Structure 1
Amino acid sequence: MKAAPEAQMRLLDLQELDTRLDRLAHRRRTLPELAEITKVEERLGGVGDALVAAQTEISDIDREQKKAEQDVEQVRARADRDQKRLDSGQVSSARDLENLQSEIVSLQKRQADLEDIVLEVMERREEAENRLRTVEADKEAADKELTELTERRDAAYREIDGEAELVRTARAGVAGDIPGDLLKLYEKLREQQRGVAAAPLLRGQCQGCHLQLNTVELNAIRAAAEDDVIRCEECRRILVRTPESGL
C-alpha cells in the first residue's frame, strides 16, 4: 500500500485521538460510582425485603391484637350480664346462685388472662414498630446515598461525554486527511490489535509491540520508498517513520 508520508504521520494523530476516546470510554465504564451504586442497590434490595417483612409482621400482630381485644370484650360483656343477674335478685335458687357466682369468678379470671395476652401482643407490636422504624431509617439513608451517587455519576458522564464529543470532532478532521484505503486498513487493524493500529518507529523499536527491529528489518525499511506503508513484522501494526526512527 502507498500513502504520502504526511498522510502516514496523520495516522499517529488519529491513533492518539482514538486512544483518548478508548480511555474515556474505559473511564466511563469503570467510574467508582458505578460499583458503589451497585452495592447500594443491592443493599436497598435487602432493606426492601426487610421492610416488607416488618410491615407484614405488624399487620399480623394487629389482627392478633384485634382478636384478643374482641375476646376480652366478649368475656367482659358476659361477666357484666351475669353480675347484673346476680345483683337483680332474680336468681333465687341457692344452687343457681352458686353456679352464677362461680361463673362470674371464672369469667373474671378468663378476662384477666386475655388482658395479659393483649398486653403481651401490644408489647410485641411496639418492638415490631421499632424494627420497622430502623428499617425505614436504613432505607431513607440508602435512598439518599443512591441519589447522591447517581448525581455524581451523571455529572461524571456529562464531563466525559463532553470531552469525548470534542475528541470525536477533532478525529473527524484528522480522518479526512487520510486516504480511504489507508484509513480502512487502520480501522481493521484497530479491531484486531486491541485499539492500537498505528505506532511510530522510535530508535529502531516498534512502539506498538515495543520490540526492537533487527538489522535486516531496519535495512528493508531504509530501502523502502517514502510513500510505502510499512508494517511491523512482529505485531503487523502500521509502522510510521519519524525523524526519531533511527534509520
Structure 2
Amino acid sequence: MQRELASLARRQSDLEDVVLDVMERREAAQERATELAGRVEAVQAEAAQAETRKSAALEGIDAEGFTAAKEREVLAAQVPDDLIKLYDKLRAQQGGVGAARLYQKRCEGCRLELNITELNEVRAAPANEVVRCENCRRILVRTADSGL
C-alpha cells in the first residue's frame, strides 16, 4: 500500500508538472496572440490610410485629366484639322504618343539619334512645317535644345 501511495504521489506530481507546463505555454500563446492582434490593427490602420491617400490621388489625377482635356480642346481649336488628324492617327499607331521632342539630335519617341542627312533636312525645313522622324514616323517637335 505504501508503494502504491508513493506511485500515486509521483504520478500526481508528474501531472501537476504537465499542467504547469501547459499553463505556461498557454500564457505565452495568449501574449503572442495579443501582440499579433495589435500588429494586425496597425496594418489595417496603415491600409486604411493608404486607401485614403489613393482616393485623394485618384481625385487629383481625374481633376488634372479634366483640366488637360479642356486645355487640349482650346489648343486643338488653333491647330489645322489635317494636323490634328495626322497626330491622332500616329497616336493610335504609336501607343498613345503621336509627337516627340527632338532633343540633342535624338528623337524622344524612339530614342534614336537622327543621322546627318535627316538633321540637315530638319534644319532646312521652315519653322511652321511638320517634320517627322524617319525611324518611328512621329511628328518631331523642334525646340532650342534640338541640337540643330
TM-score, structure 1 normalization: 0.43
The amino acid that maps onto 2:94 is Q
The secondary structure found in structure 2 opposite 1:168 is helix
Among the aligned pairs, what percent are the same residue? Answer: 44
Determine whether 1:182 maps to 2:83.
yes
Change (3 A) 1:206 1:109: closer
Higher helix share: 1
2:32 is aligned to 131
Matched residue, 2:4: 103
Amino acid at match of 1:142: V
Partner of residue 57, structure 2: 156
Aligned length: 136
Counterpart of 1:188 in 2: which secondary structure? helix
Secondary structure of the corresponding residue to residue 195 of structure 1: coil
Rg larger for: 1
- For 1:165, the equivalent position in structure 2 comes to 66
- Once the two structures are superposed, residues 178-204 of structure 1 have per-residue CA deviations (whole angstroms, 9 ceiling, x without a partner) of 45543232023234286251658xxxx
Q: In the TM superposition, what is the alpha-carbon distance from 1:126 to its structure 2 partner?
A: 1.0
Whether contact under 8 Å (1:231, 1:237) holds in the other structure is yes
Q: Does 1:195 align with 2:63?
A: no
Q: Give 2:52's aligned amino acid.
A: E
Shift of 1:166: 1.4
**Runs of 5+ unmatched residues, structure 2:** 144-148
Separation in 1 of the partners of 2:9 and 2:135? 99
Gaps of 5+ in 1: 1-97, 243-247
Let me know the Cα RMSD of the aligned residues: 3.8
Residue 118 of structure 1: CA displacement? Answer: 0.4
Provide TM-score, normalisation by structure 2: 0.65
* Pairing 1:114–2:15 present: yes
Deviation per CA, 1:97-131, whole angstroms, max 9, x where unpaired? x4xx5434322321221111101110111111122
Letter in structure 1 aligned against 2:60: E
Larger RCO (CA under 8 A, 6+ residues apart): 1
Q: 1:193 to 1:137 in 2, by over 3 A?
A: closer
